[in-house]
Structure 1
Amino acid sequence: MRGTVHTGMDKTRSHPMTDIARRMHGLLEPICLVTFFADECNEELAALGHRTYWDGYFASRAAPLGRVPAHVVHAAFYNFADGEAARHIPSAWATIPPEASVAARERGSAASLRRILGERLSASPGLVRAADLTTKAATSAPLEGRVMYAGMRTLEVPGDPVARLWHCATMLREHRGDGHIAALVGARIGGTEAHVLSALEQGIHPPESFGRIHHLPKERLAAVMDGLRERGLVDVDGHFTDTGRATRRRIEALTDELAASPYEALSAAELDELITELEPLTATLLATGSQ
């Protein structure tokens, strides 16, 4: 499924569910990204007393797991370097309950969507319907093997349609993320290695300059790159080899496959309707970079 698919109800189901999962990821991801890119969420978390952006990030995103130790958060998040979770967990919860952090994340994210979308929300009579259908998908997937998704499922779904759309889009994002981790583990790609492959896919070179890993010790990054070279995934200059590019494609294809199950709860007509309602909202968010 590439481009729009709402030209007819029967056409949506004619595409493989993996393509639908990829399409829905593209539509929902900009809704989720306001949490990380816009100001309101960080302001809400700072108002609680979180000292840094990353304190608030780890405290609020990990909160649905409960007061678990840092190594559990590290395992569930997967792509942070060793020790990064421990710099924030459990200290970020020492004086601020996890429940307060996750509530602040929801408030700030919904406020960002209202600000960015503005008239789009008032001009979108289908917003409630979009929130309803996203909720139906987000609450329909099996929990097995989905740690972050299962944590999100323990939270109450908001009644406000804007907050509900964000909440359920984020639930689906965590569901997809859990599957992506399974695909990475199956391919024997570690968290930092995954960032290297992602950087190369985005055309970033050298990949060590990628914003998610550039702060890591040079010795650590050099060891990661050496390991990828030994496996034939990158060449001597730090570019993809054919094997590396094929490995990345297999991981992404499996991620799409594992992300499909929530959307099987929706009929072809419901998928068509949801895509139609989300497209203009997503276009506005993309135009602003979800900020």
Structure 2
Amino acid sequence: MPAPPPDKPVYRFAPSPNGFLHLGHALSAFLNHDMARTNGGRFLLRIEDIDLARCTPEFEQAIYRDLAWLGLRWEEPVRRQSEHFNAYHAALDRLTEMDLVYPAFLTRGDVKARVAAYEADGKSWPRDPDGSPLYPDHDRYRSKTERRRLIAEGVRHAFRLDMGKALGLIKAPLNWMETGDGACGEIPADPSVWGDVVLSRSDAPSSYHLSVTVDDAVQGIAHVVRGLDLFEATAVHRLLQELLELPQPAYHHHRLIMGPDGRKLSKSEGSTGLAALRDQGLSGGDIRRFVGL
């Protein structure tokens, strides 16, 4: 169940412990912390560790060390997604009961082969805002009998949202309120550009889209402050909020810190890792200046 409206606005920094934090994470953490303080709000830390294969206790402990070194303080207890799989299962079950979810059996190799065959004739396969090809519609039209047979045979599968059916249930235009570094004001949301997004897969009991939507509601997050790389994904989150009857937070998508190659930083960028910078003798105040605050 979503949290009741908070007395104070709630902000959250939500890293994944699948690598060491870098300068881009520092900017996001600083902004969430500072906006909470400026607006008399609360600052929460959430550990997004649904990917049990890549997320490790070592990286999680490094997050706590890095944020403390930056001079940030957060409320306890910290919400760890791996401790709340039941909440995501409940949300998935609700969408399933609405006949909006189907099992998807195509592997990445299957999808790649289908796209290559289609584009061999000079045609262009539709792609999502991140550049990935949209999932083919083959599984969406499988019979229930065939789906049950494949599952009984142990064929690995994910669960995907039937985007067309889901949008058919939305009666009013979708939008969100944006206050960030890109476009501001009321932003129209078009989740259809993402196709049939994954909600759960065999190696992760929830997707980012589903878990973050549930968590923000449960924690009463009033302001989602995150990087511009997630701007377009907000359309999917707004759709899930409407389908699950969850409250809508305001959004603030901030600028990204770019690497020497002009691309956004990744956790493999050792030179911009907070631990490496700390080992060089830099302070949290130095990092604030580095990220332009």
Higher helix share: 1
Higher strand share: 2
Normalised to the residue count of structure 2, the TM-score between the two structures is 0.27
Normalised to the residue count of structure 1, the TM-score between the two structures is 0.27
Report which of the two structures shows the higher radius of gyration computed on alpha carbons.
2
